[in-house]
Amino acid sequence: LSSLFAKENLNRMSEQQLNLYDRLINEPSNDWDIYYWATEAKPTPAEFENDVMAMLREFAKNKKKEQRLRQPDLEYLFEPP
């Protein structure tokens, strides 16, 4: 979920949002917690409740019904924005 979210959103995020995203993916000790927060299976702790978490929750809803069966290729990291 996070790699697909990153591919779709990182190039559009402000520096502040990138810092929030970095904190979100690096501070929790359990990646499953992030998944549970994004899918609203568990409430998000106050320290991670911000606009990036809201974006991730919205992305997790997959309103376009996209197939998300595998992680994206990493070539997008080297493409100009």
Domains of the chain, residue spans: 1-77
Query: For position 81, what pLDDT does the model report?
Result: 63
Query: For position 56, what pLDDT does the model report?
Result: 97
Can you give the pTM of this predicted structure?
Answer: 0.82
pLDDT tens, N- to C-terminus, the chain (81 residues): 888 999 899 999 999 999 999 999 999 999 999 999 999 999 999 999 999 999 999 999 999 888 877 777 777 667 676
Query: For position 9, what pLDDT does the model report?
Result: 95
Query: For position 76, what pLDDT does the model report?
Result: 63
Contact predicate 60/39, CB 8 Å: yes
Q: Is 23 exposed, middle or buried (0-12, 13-18, 19+ CB in 10 A)?
A: middle
Query: For position 25, what pLDDT does the model report?
Result: 94
